[in-house]
């Protein structure tokens, strides 16, 4: 298949609480771009739990996602949701990344990978057709899902590797937040100890360096730089997409704010549902409120990549 016939997917990779929902919502304001949020969660949080879409409707009541299901599978009811969730869990895990690169090493995994890849291909092509947009943004973040997507011949995969200071990420994971998309009952976003999160931050970001080494086009963007100089970073992102920036592209960006419209993103931070003018403020409360011991632990287990990304030498990428 020619590249021009492929579905172009801009994948946001990184660890949770790195500002991915903000970047995702901002990208959705671009002409010719449609964000779908964290698409890897569509089976569990969409089909099974019927949570809210970014537009406010529940997944099965949303006209956009209803159209996607009809085009992809003849309707969502044509799928056994439990079976698909089990299939995903048996294929899309970090521990399976080596097998994604060499599936012939384990034939049972190769068969499951082939089946799940077929489902993903139909899903992305249906989103492309229903949205009518040239670029789809998937903010799933997980490295394993990115390694899966690189295998799909129908996708033209570009990755924005979004990084944030590990201490800010670890501090954010200690905060208790409610999952705003859940309708039936209440659910909280996951939390974790800074030591454990430091290890996850290091390994998860390192995997995106390995992904780049396989030939996938990866652009690295720092959260702190994105918030301070969003227009400069969007120029880089548009260039990464092979699309020269035009003044009209960034009309939604103002001096310290962004104008957000409604979207159809799944999962993610509660700001998924915010609309209107949003002030862009750097979240660096960790510098003031993080416990010294937690800061030392996080720095100690993440310093090699902190140094590489410029966080220990005080450099700022424009």
DSSP string, 109-136: HHHHHHHHHHHHHHHHHHHHHHH--SEE
* Element housing 34 (H / E): strand 33-35
As a whole number of angstroms, the distance between CA 69 and CA 49 comes to: 16
Domains belonging to the chain, first-starting first, are 3-308 (3.40.50.300)
Look up the pTM and report it: 0.92
CB-count burial class (<10 Å; 0-12, 13-18, 19+) for 12: buried
| Helix or strand holding residue 161 (H, E) | strand 155-163
The β-bridge relationship of strands 217-222 and 33-35 is unpaired
Residues for the chain: how many in total?
318
Look at residues 7, 1, 3, 11 and name the one whose alpha carbon lies nearest to residue 217. 11
Helix axes 194-213, 292-308, angle to 10 degrees: 10
CB 12, CB 139: distance < 8 Å: yes
pLDDT in tens, 109-168: 999 999 999 999 999 999 999 999 999 999 999 999 999 999 999 899 999 999 999 999
Over the chain (318 residues), what is each successive 10-residue block's mean pLDDT? 71 94 95 95 95 94 98 97 97 97 95 97 97 96 97 95 96 72 60 82 97 97 96 94 82 93 89 91 94 94 96 64
Phi, psi of 274 (to 5 degrees): -75, 140
How far is it, in rounded angstroms, from Cα 26 to Cα 278? 10
Q: Do 312 and 305 meet the contact criterion of CB atoms below 8 Å apart?
A: no
């Amino acid at each position: 298949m020619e590249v021009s016939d492929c579905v172009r997917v801009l994948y946001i990779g990184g660890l949770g609480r790195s500002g991915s929902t903000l970047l995702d919502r901002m990208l959705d304001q671009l002409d010719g771009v449609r964000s779908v949020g964290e698409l890897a969660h569509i089976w569990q949080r969409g089909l099974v739990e019927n949570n809210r879409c970014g537009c406010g409707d529940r997944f099965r009541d949303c006209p956009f996602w209803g159209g996607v299901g009809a085009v992809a599978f003849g309707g969502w009811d044509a799928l056994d949701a439990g079976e698909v969730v089990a299939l995903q869990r048996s294929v899309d895990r970090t521990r399976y990344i080596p097998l994604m690169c060499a599936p012939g090493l384990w034939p049972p995994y190769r068969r499951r990978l082939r089946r799940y890849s077929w489902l993903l291909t139909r899903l992305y092509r249906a989103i492309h057709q229903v949205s009518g947009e040239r670029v789809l943004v998937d903010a799933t973040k997980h490295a394993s899902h990115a390694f899966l997507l690189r295998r799909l011949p129908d996708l033209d995969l570009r990755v924005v590797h979004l990084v944030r200071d590990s201490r800010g990420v670890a501090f954010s994971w200690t905060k208790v937040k409610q999952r705003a998309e859940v309708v039936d009952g209440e659910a909280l976003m996951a939390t974790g100890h800074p030591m454990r999160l430091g290890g996850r931050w290091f390994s998860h970001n390192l995997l995106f360096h390995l992904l780049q080494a396989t030939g996938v086009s990866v652009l690295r963007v720092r959260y702190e730089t994105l918030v301070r100089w969003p227009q400069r970073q969007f120029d880089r992102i548009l260039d990464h997409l092979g699309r020269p920036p035009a003044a009209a592209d960034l009309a939604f960006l103002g001096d310290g704010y962004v104008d957000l419209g409604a979207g159809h993103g799944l999962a993610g931070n509660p700001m998924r549902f915010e609309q209107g003018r949003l002030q862009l403020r750097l979240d660096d409360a960790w510098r003031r409120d993080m416990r010294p011991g937690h800061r030392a632990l996080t720095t100690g287990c993440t310093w090699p990549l902190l140094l590489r990304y410029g966080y220990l030498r005080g450099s700022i990428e424009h």
